[in-house]
Amino acid sequence: MLNFLLRISLCFSFYMSYCPCLDAGGDNISVTKGVVSRVEPTQYVHGATQLMAIQIDAAINPGNSGGPAIMGNKVAGVAFQNLSGAENIGYIIPVPVIKHFIAGIEESGKYMGFCSMGLSCQPTENVQLRNHFKMQPHMTGVLVSKINPLSDAYGVLKKDDIILEFDGVPIANDGTVPFRNRERITFDHLVSMKKPNETALVKVLRNGEEHAFTITLQPLQPLVPVHQFDKLPSYYIFAGLVFVPLTQPYLHEYGEDWYNTSPRRLCERALRELPKRAGEQLVILSQVLMDDINAGYERLAELQVKKVNGIEIKNLKHLCQLVENCSRESLRIDLDDDRVVALNYESARIATSRILERHRIPSRMSVDLLSEQNSLLMDSAE
């Protein structure tokens, strides 16, 4: 099937039809034909990652995606998204990506994601830039700009390293590697096709000297989740203060132009900040359910929570534990922009029940936090 896909995508006059379920505007099965335009890494809308995709000149409408792309009597991929703002440009997931996904499910029993080195790299197409980093005329590669602290590469590679090769494959100055006959593709494709816990041999240039390192590859999660599929939102309410972990779906609630209409500071952190430790979340005060106990604090909504009683929080679960186990008379919560929330702890606990009842909210915390809290109580009872 893989060889078949590589053969057909070379032919730009090749016709492909995909027959998904029901398309918008009718009840019968939709069949559309298209011509393969290109094969290259593309941002997957639902997967929040960049993987190889096949572009075709056919429309993929709501209800039309998810069906097979067929050539003759063989499946060549799965139709899954279109190009926003353009007409008759759609994408299909190719067989190598599908096979990689299925193999991961069969081996581990659950979807683990596609591997990443956790690097942000800059092309070295400028001659002066290559000379500055002591690259010889025959050398090509990309400059390491940023490294995810949770990746294995964080303890191996360094900022300003030049990555010359990945598993013996030379990387061009524009970050591409050979792909089939006369085509090229970004070297991220080689990384994404690795299985979790597989290793890769990376050749780098550091201070004018060549080094070879072995790096273990893993799927990496961003600090702010891009999607929350099949998962109920997490929240914690205390004294009418509603705390949630920041996610991109939360920012999307500001409308289609969320990048410009959502709080600028939160948006920048969602798109640019990297996690410093495993399990880290960016927790915000999303809103304030009005009551006398929290009067004046409504202006602090949408600020990030930094500390509880002087302890830096790691995630929403940690914040919940710090508040629930508070033994002081006064509870102090430090927010972004050097703002402070101070509450009499016992009065706030009483007010929490009153506020929940007023707003018909069944629980002060989400199911995931409630389960964690119950398990902690059981452990302490034993």
CA atoms of 266 and 118, how far apart (whole Å) = 22
Please determine, for residue 47, whether its predicted confidence score (pLDDT) is greater than 80: no
Contact 354, 364 (CB under 8 A): no
Please determine, for residue 372, whether its predicted confidence score (pLDDT) is greater than 80: no
CA atoms of 95 and 245, how far apart (whole Å) = 36
Hey, what domains does the chain have and what are their CATH numbers? 7-14+22-108 (2.40.10.10), 119-217 (2.30.42.10), 236-379 (3.20.190.20)
Q: What is the mean pLDDT of residues 315-322?
A: 95
Residues with Cβ < 8 Å from 117, sequence gap 6 or more? 151, 153, 191, 200, 215, 217
CA atoms of 301 and 161, how far apart (whole Å) = 42
How buried is 154 (Cβ within 10 angstroms: 0-12 exposed, 13-18 middle, 19+ buried)? Answer: middle
What's the pLDDT at 301?
93
What's the pLDDT at 63?
62
What's the pLDDT at 136?
94
Structure tokens at 315: 């995630």
pLDDT digits 0-9 by tens, 256-308: 888 889 888 898 888 888 888 888 999 999 999 999 999 999 999 999 999 99
pTM of this prediction exceeds 0.75: yes
What's the pLDDT at 131?
95
Contact 147, 159 (CB under 8 A): yes
User: How confident is the prediction for the chain on average, in pLDDT?
Assistant: 85
Chain CA centroid to CA 38, Å = 25
Q: What is the mean pLDDT of residues 138-163?
A: 94
Q: What is the mean pLDDT of residues 215-236?
A: 86
Q: DSSP 3-state assignment of 320?
A: helix
Distances (CA, A) of 37 to 84, 91, 206: 17, 10, 39
CA atoms of 133 and 154, how far apart (whole Å) = 20
What's the pLDDT at 2?
35
Contact 237, 289 (CB under 8 A): yes
3-state DSSP helix/strand/coil % of the chain, to nearest 5 = 25, 30, 40
Q: Among candidates 37, 31, 32, which has minimal Cα distance to 13?
A: 37
Distances (CA, A) of 59 to 18, 37, 92, 303, 368: 11, 13, 11, 41, 40
What's the pLDDT at 382?
52
What's the pLDDT at 12?
31
CB atoms closer than 10 angstroms to residue 249: 14
pLDDT digits 0-9 by tens, 232-247: 889 999 999 999 999 9
Q: What is the mean pLDDT of residues 132-144?
A: 95
Q: Among candidates 222, 211, 253, 205, which has minimal Cα distance to 116?
A: 222
> Concatenated DSSP letters for 167-181?
TTEEPPTTSEEEETT
How buried is 155 (Cβ within 10 angstroms: 0-12 exposed, 13-18 middle, 19+ buried)? Answer: exposed
pLDDT digits 0-9 by tens, 72-84: 888 888 888 877 7
Q: Where is average pLDDT lowest: 20-24, 142-146, 216-220?
A: 20-24
Structure tokens at 317: 């679960």
What's the pLDDT at 48?
65
Terminal-to-terminal C-alpha distance of the chain: 56
Q: What is the mean pLDDT of residues 6-33?
A: 49
What is the band of 348 on the pLDDT scale with cuts at 50, 70, 90?
A: very high
Most confidently modeled of 19-28, 186-195, 329-338? 329-338
pLDDT digits 0-9 by tens, 52-95: 888 888 777 666 667 888 878 888 888 888 777 667 788 888 88
Residues with Cβ < 8 Å from 87, sequence gap 6 or more? 59
Q: What percent of the chain is modeled with pLDDT above 90?
A: 49
CA atoms of 44 and 66, how far apart (whole Å) = 13
Structure tokens at 173: 């100055």
What's the pLDDT at 20?
45
DSSP-derived secondary structure letter, 297:
G
Q: What is the mean pLDDT of residues 23-33?
A: 66
Q: What percent of the chain is modeled with pLDDT above 70?
A: 87
> Concatenated DSSP letters for 15-83?
EEEE--SBPTT-SSBP-EEEEEEEEEEEEETTTTEEEEEEEESS---TTTTTSEEEETTEEEEEEEEE-
- Total residues found in the chain within this entry: 382
